[in-house]
Structure 1
């Protein structure tokens, strides 16, 4: 997956803008800051990307974007699978993510790829949408 098309902060922000209303799309400056942070994991495929990070035995899936015209082709599932493999290889024992509670396609994808809801953050996203916190075990005690 990391062998996908090269995407810099501007391209990532443009695709993110096409994919998100809630949470709000991220800016090129925000992507630039995340990409330069230690432990950053960027995976790309045609019309899609996943951005996460690994630190201190834990991983976090920060965002996953698949262009509307590229959805339902398995790209998201493949990116999530590659991310989990990379995190495990880097020593992470668990991965976490937050997803808008009204994002049924994303919730279904994450459940299909082994994530489980472990918490909820009320009104985390504007305009008052809850975040579902999900976990995926990676280590021996997963």
Structure 2
């Protein structure tokens, strides 16, 4: 993602998350300045951002972990693998960083929950009224560190 993509991402936020405090363009620009955060976009044929995603790489060594901040895909382009591709890019960054990966997802967002489950995430808790101002609940999901998955262990 580049700073000039922030306006389009903010437009998509309003469409995708109208009742949950959609991020303004300035929030995306601020995120891009943070050295521990990685943001990705998928563009359609004319260069328009069709989807975006961001992850924070936190801690280091045995304390390393990552947190998915957001994934958003233009409603006209959903169910075409864009979200999965963005998630894959973020998980590759997380695997290089090390440690487990965490995220929150609305409890009523079945397509996202299915995508995360396919990628190895499991629900570990519920955050009541997590999304504001809507008051929607969120599941907290986690995926073990890549090395733990290979060994069959847990974080």
TM-score (norm 1): 0.87
The structure whose Rg is larger is: 2
| Counterpart position of 1:33 | 30
1:110 and 2:116 equivalent? Answer: yes
Structure 1 unpaired stretches of 5+: none
Structure 2 unpaired stretches of 5+: 44-49, 150-155
Higher percent of residues as strand: 1
**Structure 1 runs of 4+ with >6 Å offset:** none
- Taking the aligned partners of 1:74 and 1:94, their CA distance within structure 2 comes to 23
- Taking the aligned partners of 1:7 and 1:84, their CA distance within structure 2 comes to 24
Aligned-partner SS, 1:82: helix
| Counterpart position of 2:56 | 53
Higher percent of residues as helix: 2
- Taking the aligned partners of 2:4 and 2:38, their CA distance within structure 1 comes to 13
**Cα shift at 1:22:** 4.3
| Counterpart position of 2:39 | 42
Q: Given the superposition, is the C-alpha separation of residues 127 and 18 from structure 1 closer, same or farther in structure 2, using an over 3 Å criterion?
A: closer
**Cα shift at 1:111:** 1.0
Count of residue pairs the alignment pairs up: 138
Q: Given the superposition, is the C-alpha separation of residues 6 and 35 from structure 1 closer, same or farther in structure 2, using an over 3 Å criterion?
A: closer
- Taking the aligned partners of 1:19 and 1:64, their CA distance within structure 2 comes to 10
Task: Tell me which moved more, 21-30 or 128-137.
Answer: 21-30
TM-score (norm 2): 0.81
Superposed CA RMSD in Å reads 1.8
